[in-house]
C-alpha cells in the first residue's frame, strides 16, 4: 500500500489541538485523560477553526456545529482518550476561508 499526504506548517499561529482535513472533512482531535475533556477539546478547537478561518461569530459557528458535527473515538489507550470532531466541508461550502 502506498500513502501520500502533505503537511502545511503555519508558523507563529497557536492552535489548541491537532487539526487535519481531507477532501471531505475538517477535523480536530482532543486527547485527554477523560472522555468529557477530550470531547470538549475537540469541539472547542473546531469552533475556533470556524471562527478564525471562516470569520463566523461564536453563535454562527455554534449553529453550524450544532447541525453538522460528527464525532469518532480515535483512541482509548492507557489512561488517554482521543476524540475526533469533524464537519463536512459541504456544510460550510458557501463560506469564504481567510488565511
15-49, pLDDT tens digit by residue? 877 889 999 999 999 999 999 999 999 999 999 99
More confident residue, 78 or 61: 61
Q: What is the 3-state secondary structure (H, E, C) of the chain?
A: CCCCCCCCCCCCCCCCCCEEECCCEEEEEEEECCHHHHHHHHHHHHHHHHHHHHCCCHHHHHHHHHHHCEEEEEEEECCEEEEEEEEEHHHHCCCCCCC
| Whether pLDDT at 96 is above 70 | no
| Whether pLDDT at 72 is above 90 | yes
Q: Which of 3.30.70.890, 3.60.40.10, 3.10.28.20, 3.30.365.10 would CATH assign to domain 19-90? A: 3.10.28.20
pLDDT reported for residue 3: 84
Amino acid at each position: 500500500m502506498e500513502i501520500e499526504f502533505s503537511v502545511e506548517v503555519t508558523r507563529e499561529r497557536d492552535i489548541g489541538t491537532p487539526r487535519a482535513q481531507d477532501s471531505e472533512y475538517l477535523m480536530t482531535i482532543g486527547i485527554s485523560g477523560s472522555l468529557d475533556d477530550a470531547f470538549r477539546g475537540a469541539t472547542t478547537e473546531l469552533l475556533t477553526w470556524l471562527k478564525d478561518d471562516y470569520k463566523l461569530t461564536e453563535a454562527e459557528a455554534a449553529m453550524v456545529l450544532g447541525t453538522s458535527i460528527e464525532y469518532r473515538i480515535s483512541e482509548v489507550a492507557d489512561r488517554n482518550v482521543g476524540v475526533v470532531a469533524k464537519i463536512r466541508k459541504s456544510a460550510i461550502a458557501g463560506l469564504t476561508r481567510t488565511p
